[in-house]
Amino acid sequence: MSAAGGINRRTFLVSVAAAGGLALGFDVPLASTAQAADRAPEINAWILIQSDDTVTIRVARSEMGQGALTALPMLVAEELECDWSKVKAEFPRPDENLRRNRIWGDFSTGGSRSIRNSQEPLRQAGATAREMLIAAAAAQWNVAASECRAANSIITHQPSGRTVSYGQVAEAAAKLPPPKDVTLKDAKDWHLIGKPTKRLDVTDKVQGKPIYGIDVRVPGMLHAALAQCPVFKGTLKSVDDTKAVGMKGVHKVVTLKDAVAVVADNWWQAKQALDALTIEWDGGEGAAVSSAGIREFLLGGLTADNAGVGRAQGNIRDGFGSAVKRIEADYEVPFLAHATLEPQNCTAHVTGDRAEIWAPTQNGEAALASAAHTLGIPTQNVIVHKTMLGGGFGRRGVTQDFVPPAVLIAREVGRPVKVVWSREEDIGHDYYRPVAMARMAAGLGDDGMPRAWHVRMTGNSIWSTLMPMTVRGGVDRQFQEGFLADMPYDIPNYLADYAIRNTHVPVGFWRCVNHTQNCFFKESFVDEMAHAAGSDPLEYRRRLIGTHRNAAKFLGVLNAAAERAGWSTPLPPNTFRGIALNEAYNTFVAAVAEVTVADGAVRMHRIVIALDPGTVVNPLTAEMQTESAVVFGLTAALYGEITIKDGRVEQSNFNDYKMLRLADMPKVETVLMPSGGFWGGCGEPPVAVVAPALCNAIFAATGRRIRSLPLKNHGLTKA
C-alpha cells in the first residue's frame, strides 16, 4: 500500500516535548500492515467508498480552523474524479497509523505544512484509487481499462456508453492490486483544486455539533481541574487538602511533581475544591526572574562577542567605511501566549499498562508518544483519539504538555478523567512566542541605498530548548528566519548573527513563529532606511530587490498589494499607509495598511494582503486564513504582552491579556496570486507583515518610529 501513502516502512521517530520542555525520541517497533476492516470497502488507506457512492477521505492532519479537513480531501478528490457532494472526511487514529506502518505518514500539523507536505501522496492516493475503480469496472465488462473514463464517481465505457458508479465497483476495486505508477494531472486540468469550496465542517460548526477535546464524554468519566506550579520549572512542596476532600462531588486530590489536581463529578466542583487547597510551591531558581531582569540579560546579547552567524556576505566593516550615513536602532518584542479559545485539555483512561486518550492535538503521534513515555508503557498499548481543535496556532503541536498530567491523574483515579485547564492555567503555562531584540545598523551610500547592514539578534531560542539537536555551533537558523537566504533585499555587505539568551520561560511555536518578530524588525528598519534616504518606502523596496532568486515573486506581491491599495492615490483625511514584505513557509506576502491616529489611539481601517503561495487549493479557506492571520498579528501588535514577575506570568485571562474584538476589525482585502509551480503555506505567513505595515503607517502619520511592541505601551491604544 506504499504507493498510495507514499511512505515506506521505516523507523518511526517522533520528537515530543514532555512537560518541562524536554525533547525525547522514541523508537517504535512496527507491526505488519493490518487488514482493513471498516464499514466500507477501503480502496486504499485514504479512501473508503460505500455502495451508495459516499466517499470517505481520511485526513491525517488536524483541523484547527485552517481548513485542512476540506482542502486535503480536495487534493484526493481531484485525482479520484469523485462526486464532491458525496465526500466526507474523517481522522484516522494515530495508533492505527503505527499499526499500519505509518501508512498515513506524518500527523504533525504545523509550519503551514498541511497541504505542502501532503499534496503529492494525497493526489497519488486519489489517482491510484481511480485506476483501481476503472480496472474493476473494466474487468466486470470484460473490456480494456484504457477504453474507460471516470468522472463524478461514474465510470463510462466509452465505446459502448455503459456506465457504473464507484459504489457498485468499490468492493471489487478494493481487492485489486494498486497500480505501480500513476500519472498525476497537469495543473491546467484541475477542476477542483483552485476552486473556492465550502468547508465540509461548516454546517456542524454553526450548530455546536463538533466534538472538541473539551467536549469528550466517556462512560464513567470524572472531571479534573489542575493547578501547576506558577513558577516555570518549579515543583510542588506541599498541599493541605483538608477543606477540599469533604466538598460535594470531590473524589480525589492528586499530587504530581509540579502540579495538583482535584477530581470531581463535574469540573466546577473540581475547580472550587482546587481553590480550597492550600498549596506551597518550590519555585526554585526561576522564582527570582522578572521581565526587567530578562531585558537586561537580552541587552547583553546585543553586544556579546559570541553570536552564531546565520548569513554573512561581503564585509560589513568595508561597507560601513564606504557609507556616507549610518543609522542605528534597537527593536524588541515580548513573550506572547497562544490563547487558543479552547483551553488546553486532555481526557485519559489508564488501565494497567494500557491507555486511551482523547486530545485536541496538532500531532496525534506526539500525543501518543507522550502518553507512552509518561506512563512507561509500550507505544502499542496507547490508543489516541484526535478531536476537533478549538484553535491551535502552534500551541498543540511539538508541545504536548496537556497529555502527561492527564494520564498521570487518570492512572491515580482508575477511571476516565477529563482534565481541563482553567483559562488562567492556560495563559500562565504556555510555550510562549519568544522574547527577542534586534540591534540594527546600516550604512547608506550617497544614493541612499545600503552599503552595509548588520542585524544582531538576541532572545530566547525555541530550537535550542525544545529540539537542541537542531542547533549546531550556536547557530539557531530558525530564530533568524527572514534575515537569511529569505531576506529579499540586495545588501552588498551583510551580517545577520544571533546571540542565544535562554530564560526559564518555556518558548514554542506561535503562529508564524520567529517571523512574527523578525518581519517587524526587518520591515520597520527598511522603512527607516527609506526615510533616511528620503525615498518613498515602496519605491525604496523596489530598488532594493534586485538579484534575489525570488525577486520576481517578491516584486509580484509588493506591486500587487500597492496597486490594490492604491499606494499613490490620495487617502481620506488623516489616514496614512504603511507597507511590509516577507517570505515565510515558502509563501510571498506583502501588506499595505491604512491607519489613522486620533486622540492617542491608532486604528487600522483597511489592510491589503497580497499572497503568492505558488498553488492555492481552496481559495475560500486561504482567504479566511488571511483574515485570521491579520487578526492574530494585529492583536499582538496592539495588546500582546506576557510579562514575568517572581518567575511567573503576570497575566491571567482575557481581562489582562486582551484580544481584538469585532469593533476593531479592519477591512481585510486578500489578493491571492498563485504564480504556479510551487506549494507554499497559507495559515501563517500573513501574520508577520501586519505589525510592520501598521507601525510604518504610524510613522507616516505621526513621525514616531515604533521600535517595540505592543502599542498599548506607547499610549496608542484606548484603555
User: What residues make contact with other proteins under the rule CB under 8 A?
Assistant: 63-67, 198-199, 201-212, 214-215, 217, 223, 248, 265-269, 339-343, 388-393, 420, 422-423, 620, 624-625, 627-632, 635, 653-655, 659-663, 665, 667-668
- Distances in Å between the alpha carbon of 544 and those of 311, 448, 529, 540? 18, 11, 11, 6
Asked if the peptide bond before residue 710 counts as cis, ω within 30 degrees of 0, the response is yes
Using CA atoms, how far apart are residues 710 and 47, in angstroms rounded to an integer?
Answer: 47
In this structure, what C-alpha cell is assigned to residue 249? 462531588
- Report the phi/psi class of residue 81: left, alpha or beta, with left for phi > 0 and alpha for psi in -120 to 50: left
**How far is CA 631 from its chain centroid?**
15
DSSP string, 354-365: EEEEEE--S-HH
Please, which residue, 65 or 364, has the CB nearer to other proteins? Answer: 65
CB atoms within 10 A of CB 552: 12
Question: Nearest distance from residue 198's CB to other proteins, in Å?
Answer: 7
Amino acid letter, residue 627 = E
Identify whether the C-beta of residue 335 lies closer than 8 Å to the C-beta of residue 455: no
- Residue placing its CB nearer to other proteins in the complex, 24 or 268: 268
Nearer to other proteins, 64 or 236 (CB): 64
> H-type helices in 32-145, by residue range?
68-80, 94-99, 119-141
Closest approach, Cβ 278 to other proteins, in A, equals: 22
Residue nearer to other proteins on the CB measure, 420 or 561: 420
- For the CB of residue 653, give the shortest distance to other proteins in the complex, in Å: 5
Phi, psi of 580 (to 5 degrees): -155, 155
Consecutive H or E run containing 583? strand 575-584
Q: Which is nearer to other proteins, 101 or 272 (CB)?
A: 272
CB of 342 to other proteins, least distance (A): 5
* Nearer to other proteins (CB atom), residue 442 or residue 634: 634
**Of the two residues 331 and 393, which places its CB atom closer to other proteins in the complex?**
393
Min separation Cβ 629 and other proteins, Å: 8
Cell of 590: 506583502
C-beta closer to other proteins: residue 335 or 540: 335
Helix (H) or strand (E) holding 197: none
Q: How far is the CB of 139 from other proteins (least distance, A)?
A: 42
**Beta pairing, strands 493-500 & 450-459:** parallel
Q: In the complex, what is the shortest distance from the CB of residue 387 to other proteins, in angstroms, rounded to a whole number?
A: 11
CB of 304 to other proteins, least distance (A): 37
Between 497 and 627, name the residue whose CB sits nearer to other proteins. 627
Nearer residue to other proteins within complex by CB, 223 or 454: 223
Q: Least separation, in Å, of the C-beta of 400 and other proteins? A: 19
**Closest separation in Å from C-beta 423 to other proteins:** 5
Adjacent-strand bridge partners of 454 = 441, 495
Residue 389 vs 602, nearer CB to other proteins = 389
- Tell me the closest approach of the beta carbon of residue 586 to other proteins, in angstroms: 22
Enumerate residues 6+ apart whose C-beta is below 8 A from 175.
Answer: none
Between CA 301 and CA 500 the distance in angstroms is 7
What are the angstrom distances between the C-alpha of 584 and each of 297, 485, 576, 612, 627?
A: 29, 11, 26, 11, 17
Please, what is the minimum distance in Å from the beta carbon of residue 683 to other proteins?
10
Smallest gap, in angstroms, from Cβ of residue 252 to other proteins?
Answer: 17
CA nearest neighbour of 79 among 21, 108, 122: 122
615-633: b (≥16 Cβ within 10 Å) or e: bbbbbbbbbbbbbbbbbbb
Q: How far apart are CA 507 and CA 460, in angstroms?
A: 7
Residue with Cβ nearer other proteins (286 or 666): 666
Q: Find the shortest distance in angstroms from Cβ 450 to other proteins.
A: 35
Alpha carbons 57 and 239: distance in angstroms, whole number: 49
Of residues 500, 318, 348, 316, the one with CA closest to residue 414: 348
Q: DSSP state, 399?
A: B
Q: Which amino acid is at 261?
A: A
By C-beta, is 273 or 444 nearer to other proteins? 273
Distance CA 344, CA 224 (A): 12
Closest CB to other proteins among residues 489, 632 = 632
Give the SS3 label for residue 232.
Answer: coil
- Tally: H helices and E strands in the chain: 19, 29
CA distance 487 to 206: 42
